[in-house]
């Protein structure tokens, strides 16, 4: 085996990559119906991605943003930084939809849960409640039959 070579990106390449991500964050989030008052935010955080959905009080989806739709690819989608950028994009949608109060529902076990919540709070979103709706198995799968020898 030969010597391993590590490809290092130059400052110019890193700046270009950052600009593409920033363009994705600034991308216009489409809001399907302009509402007001109270809304819900569903944060779904898996090992591979973070998806945040904005709904009205009834549960009708107004806007959604994921780390992949912003411009992150591969393993970068599952980072806390990507989750915070997704939360910033959904905060812009909250302002656009004229929503005052928000109830947050967190689902999943990814690393983006906490950073998305912190980013929403830092953006000035008025959070009423936070609820964890991660599905938990109560009794698990059926155990295998005993082995006959």
pLDDT tens by residue, 76-115 = 999 999 999 999 999 999 998 899 999 999 999 989 999 9
- Residue-number span of the structural domain to which 105 is assigned: 36-132
Q: Note whether residue 27 is domain-resident.
A: no
Q: Note whether residue 7 is domain-resident.
A: no
Stretch among 36-40, 66-70, 88-92 having the lowest mean pLDDT:
36-40
Q: Note whether residue 123 is domain-resident.
A: yes
Taking 80 as the threshold, does the pLDDT of residue 31 lie above it? no
Q: Any idea which residue has 């709706």 for tokens? A: 133
Taking 90 as the threshold, does the pLDDT of residue 35 lie above it? no
- For the question of whether the overall pTM of this predicted structure is more than 0.85, the answer is no
Q: What CATH number has the domain bearing residue 100? A: 3.30.420.80
Number of structural domains the chain divides into: 1
DSSP 108-136: E-STHHHHHHHHHHHTT-EEEEEEE----
Taking 90 as the threshold, does the pLDDT of residue 137 lie above it? no
CB 80 within 8 A of CB 110: no
Taking 80 as the threshold, does the pLDDT of residue 23 lie above it? no
Greater confidence, 18 or 99?
99
pLDDT of residue 26: 56
Among residues 55, 135, 108, 118, the alpha carbon closest in space to that of 84 is found at 118
CB 27 within 8 A of CB 91: no
């Amino acid at each position: 085996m030969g010597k391993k070579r590590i490809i290092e990106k130059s400052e110019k390449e890193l700046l270009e990559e950052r600009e593409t991500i920033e363009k994705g964050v600034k991308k216009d989030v489409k809001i399907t119906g302009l509402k007001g008052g109270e809304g819900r935010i569903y944060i779904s955080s898996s090992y591979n991605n973070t998806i945040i959905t904005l709904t009205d009080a009834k549960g009708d989806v107004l806007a959604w943003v994921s780390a992949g739709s912003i411009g992150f690819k591969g393993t970068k989608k599952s980072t806390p930084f990507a989750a915070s950028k997704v939360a910033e994009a959904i905060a812009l949608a909250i302002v656009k939809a004229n929503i005052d109060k928000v109830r947050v529902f967190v689902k999943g076990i990814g690393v983006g849960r906490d950073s998305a919540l912190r980013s929403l709070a830092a953006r000035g979103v008025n959070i009423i409640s936070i609820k964890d709706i991660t599905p938990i198995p109560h009794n698990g799968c059926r155990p295998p039959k005993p082995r006959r020898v």
